[in-house]
Structure 1
Amino acid sequence: MTNLLQEPTPRTRPGSRARGGLGTAVLAVGLLTAAFNLRIGVASVGPVLSDIQADLGLSEVVVSLLTTIPVIAFGAFAFVTPALSRRLGLHRLLGATMIALAVGIALRLQPGLTGLFAGTVVVGASIAIANVIMPAAIKGDFSGHVGLMMGLYSTALSVGAAFASGATVPLLSWVGGGGWRPTLALWAIPALIAFLILIPQLRHTSVRGTRMQEPAVAEADVRADAGEPAVAEADARADAGEPSVRALMRDPVAIAVTALMGLQSMSYYATLTWVPTLFQDAGMDAHSAGWMLSYAAFLGMAASLVTPAMARRTRPTWLPVAIAVALTGAAFAGLAAAPTSAAYVWMTMLGLGQGASLSLSLTYIVWRSPDARHTGHVSMMAQGLGYLLAGLGPIGLGALHTATGGWSIPLMTLIGLLALQLWAGVLAGRQRHVLR
């Protein structure tokens, strides 16, 4: 099919569309730099939350919204992504989210609550849209290296979160008397850098050339990933329609991928919020409790990087999910029984288990989709519904802690939810595509 959109012929690999080696490398750097920004706007708030509360005189309930709103927005705004993608294309929409993200972060410079909370909503919405775009862009541009790119993508998410968490307080001292507002506003700079790196894609990509409902490109000859079923030539017809949301909602593969994303995210955000408090309740000082979370994050980065490549070669396919769940469950059990006596052991297992779970949940979005069109819609469903579910994690764990006066029952509840995560992961790990 030859037209102004210059769509690839059935034997053209998506990753080679009108790009040489340098162009592909620049695109990869641009995507990973954008990914680096997708947790910064949220992770940078936690270290200065007490400063914000003291400065504005907010209650604990109100100030907690600054970390709860983005997670809910991750889910709610994911569903507008297909319509925006149809108008702009994946790369231009990704560039637009980086500008919007920078604007949202900069809004926190405004005095009063309006700019702070409006900026938080914009940050959450921008990240939500970019979350959905990234797997589809990787599927379309790097079909021959999906495992590697998804590993790098999930690692970039973790690196951005860890960097923002660790650097915000030193930046607070660096800005002097400016306080938390200019400190948070500085995090708009990485988003602007990501936009600049993506500019070549914005200039050379057709507005409708790479959108979430684009025709599938045949991968039967590519066989990009051993962990992903080959797609027949017949599946690459240019007149293939957009996948039905209703059909996806009933598809067992899509449901399993969505459940895995939601359950692992619920576990992650619950522990991100409450593990430092758990350690402090057990007698650990605040600095050490915060460090334990950072320590786990570094191990999570390593697990995120290597897990997709390992999962591609591992048989049976459910084994990586089982290992990740077992590590996370052992960590929760240890934290419930003796949190401080072997803290490094528990947090090592927690970091490895949750890092692997995140990487697998993102990678299955791509592996279980036959083409970039389906990837975008599966990503919308998995991350939209998944993050709405994840928003219940911190609230639910805190409510259980308040009701029981301890951490044993909340942690046992998380262990129980891991059984559901294992079930979802086993089903998502099977070599099948959605709507097949």
Structure 2
Amino acid sequence: MSPRRRAVQLVPFVLVALQLQIPTIALGPVIAVVSRDAGLTLGQAGALTSIPVLCFAVLTPVAARAVGTIGINRALVLASVTIGAGVVVRSLGTLPALFGGSILLGSAVALVNIALPTLITRRYRHRSLLMNAIQTSSINVGSATAALVSAPLVASLGWQLGLGVWSVVSLVAAAVWWWRNGIARPERLPASSVVTTMAEAIAEDDDVDPAARAASSGRSVPGWRVPMAWVLGVAFVMHGGCYFAMSSWLPLLLQERSGLSATTAGACVAAFLVIGVIGPVLLPAVLKLPGMALWKLMTLTSIGWLVCLVLLATAPALWPLAVLVGGLVQGASYTVIATFAVHVAADEDQSRGIQATFQTIGFAGAAVMPVLIGAVRDSTGGWDAPLWVLVGVAVALVVVGGVASRLLVRHDAAVPAAA
């Protein structure tokens, strides 16, 4: 296959990933405008950004079952259309619409969060780190674009239309995926045709029939019984806690602790997200370095989070270095966690179970962190205590990442690495 054709085949994948955080990130820069015009308190308005994350945690098990029932292609088209619909509903402006739209788009993103890793397990296990890197980088491109463009759009169009136009991205993603992959009834294939090892070739574009998937998965235990799923869930709590806390509180932190203006602090958040595109892309090249291994990437990214937060806690003047390091590791850390999950899965059914387990644990725990950091900030009146809480979270990530690395080494010792 030519490089051009391979790149064209990636376009639907990139578009589906690109849309995932746009609705949440686009709301952040204009949340004060929305709360004022809709008659919400800041606490109620803040819930609009946390509702989707809570949906990820609560609905991930349901999403895993749905993907197994309707297939990957139809799940991704349905989810993309629903994200677009959720954005439109949220932009209607009434209180029920604001919260109902947030629940709708959060539920749809939960479906994509399961479908894309399942797709990677089926088609791209031999390139799982690269594909997870492309997914994470695409998400960060969408997030950074939304962070930079949302405020000017709202200033020009008003918040309802300014936020509602982002639905176009999701509808385009759905249309392109449908055009490229279709949503026809899954073709019944023999169990032997399902990609279950990295050594097998890329699967056909059509979804595999659920009966074939069930037959192929008889040799594997349910994903929730895989120890790695639980360890990765705890690691995701730590990583997600650091990421959501930084995304939520970095502007105010830099204003109050480092003396930046509101405009400059907002630009730093955009830079944090833009730099997040680079980290995942570098991972495949880093993995090719002499002596490097996948488990060592977990160590590097975990220590990166620790370095970022220690710098913020102990050296406020070095905030540019902290933002640089944090930006690089925030996308890379999730990419490594997601790749661990794909790496140890015996087949796509087990992959869905592992994804459901670690995402449910991870999102549930991570959603609490911005609230906790805000509460500690309010109770202490400063940023020393909140930052040291985050340093403690990063230390825990290093420890839990070490446990995950140990499990990965054991897995690779037991399973031939041709996979």
TM-score, with length taken from structure 1: 0.84
143-152 or 381-390, which deviates more: 143-152
Q: In structure 2, do the counterparts of structure 1 residues 144 and 59 end up closer, same or farther at CA, with 3 Å as the change threshold?
A: same
Question: Residue 45 in 1 paired to residue 22 in 2?
Answer: no
Please, which runs of 5 or more residues in structure 1 have no aligned partner?
1-15, 225-235
State the distance in 2 between where 1:243 and 1:221 align. Answer: 18
State the distance in 1 between where 2:226 and 2:196 align. Answer: 22
How far off is 1:312 after superposition? 6.4
Question: Residue 321 in 1 paired to residue 303 in 2?
Answer: no
The residue type equivalent to 2:168 in the other structure is: I
Partner of 2:95: 113
SS in 1 for 2:277: helix
State the distance in 2 between where 1:418 and 1:409 align. Answer: 14
Q: In structure 2, do the counterparts of structure 1 residues 345 and 203 end up closer, same or farther at CA, with 3 Å as the change threshold?
A: closer
SS in 2 for 1:105: helix
Partner of 1:408: 384
State the distance in 2 between where 1:204 and 1:66 align. Answer: 32
State the distance in 1 between where 2:249 and 2:162 align. Answer: 24
State the distance in 1 between where 2:307 and 2:403 align. Answer: 22
Question: Residue 84 in 1 paired to residue 66 in 2?
Answer: yes
343-352 or 200-209, which deviates more: 200-209
State the distance in 1 between where 2:76 and 2:410 align. Answer: 29
Deviations, residues 265-305 of structure 1 (Å, cap 9, x unaligned): 11100111111111111221101111111112222210011
Q: Is contact 2:57–2:362 with CA below 8 Å preserved after alignment?
A: yes
Partner of 1:241: 218
- RMSD over aligned Cα, in angstroms? 2.8
Q: Is contact 2:126–2:198 with CA below 8 Å preserved after alignment?
A: no
How far off is 1:118 after superposition? 0.5
1:242-391 to 2 correspondences below 5 Å: 245=222, 248-282=223-257, 283-311=259-287, 315=292, 317-339=294-316, 341-391=317-367
Q: Is contact 2:73–2:183 with CA below 8 Å preserved after alignment?
A: no
Q: In structure 2, do the counterparts of structure 1 residues 281 and 88 end up closer, same or farther at CA, with 3 Å as the change threshold?
A: same
40-49 or 108-117, which deviates more: 108-117
Deviations, residues 369-428 of structure 1 (Å, cap 9, x unaligned): 122222222111111221111101101111111222211111111111122212222233
Partner of 2:145: 163
State the distance in 2 between where 1:380 and 1:237 align. Answer: 17
Partner of 2:398: 422
Q: In structure 2, do the counterparts of structure 1 residues 82 and 237 end up closer, same or farther at CA, with 3 Å as the change threshold?
A: closer
How far off is 1:22 after superposition? 8.4
Partner of 2:167: 188
SS in 2 for 1:152: helix
Q: 1:126 aligns with which of 108, 114, 118?
A: 108
Question: Residue 207 in 1 paired to residue 186 in 2?
Answer: yes
State the distance in 2 between where 1:264 and 1:252 align. Answer: 19
Q: 1:67 aligns with which of 25, 49, 52?
A: 49
Q: Which has the higher helix share?
A: 2
Deviations, residues 114-133 of structure 1 (Å, cap 9, x unaligned): 11110011111111110111
Q: In structure 2, do the counterparts of structure 1 residues 317 and 94 end up closer, same or farther at CA, with 3 Å as the change threshold?
A: closer
Q: Is contact 2:224–2:354 with CA below 8 Å preserved after alignment?
A: no
How far off is 1:243 after superposition? 5.6
TM-score, with length taken from structure 2: 0.87
State the distance in 1 between where 2:5 and 2:354 align. Answer: 28
SS in 2 for 1:38: coil
How many percent identity over aligned positions?
A: 25
Q: In structure 2, do the counterparts of structure 1 residues 111 and 274 end up closer, same or farther at CA, with 3 Å as the change threshold?
A: closer
Q: Is contact 1:40–1:160 with CA below 8 Å preserved after alignment?
A: yes
Q: In structure 2, do the counterparts of structure 1 residues 321 and 310 end up closer, same or farther at CA, with 3 Å as the change threshold?
A: same
State the distance in 1 between where 2:371 and 2:215 align. Answer: 46
Partner of 1:145: 127
Please, which runs of 5 or more residues in structure 2 have no aligned partner?
203-212
Q: In structure 2, do the counterparts of structure 1 residues 420 and 242 end up closer, same or farther at CA, with 3 Å as the change threshold?
A: farther
Q: 2:117 aligns with which of 114, 135, 140?
A: 135
Partner of 1:232: none
Partner of 1:30: 12
Question: Residue 219 in 1 paired to residue 191 in 2?
Answer: no
Q: Is contact 1:155–1:302 with CA below 8 Å preserved after alignment?
A: yes
1:15-26 to 2 correspondences below 5 Å: 26=8
State the distance in 2 between where 1:77 and 1:69 align. Answer: 12
Partner of 1:227: none
The residue type equivalent to 2:89 in the other structure is: L
The residue type equivalent to 2:242 in the other structure is: S
Partner of 2:206: none
State the distance in 2 between where 1:214 and 1:73 align. Answer: 35
Q: Is contact 2:117–2:355 with CA below 8 Å preserved after alignment?
A: yes
SS in 2 for 1:342: helix
Partner of 2:154: 172
How far off is 1:39 after superposition? 0.4
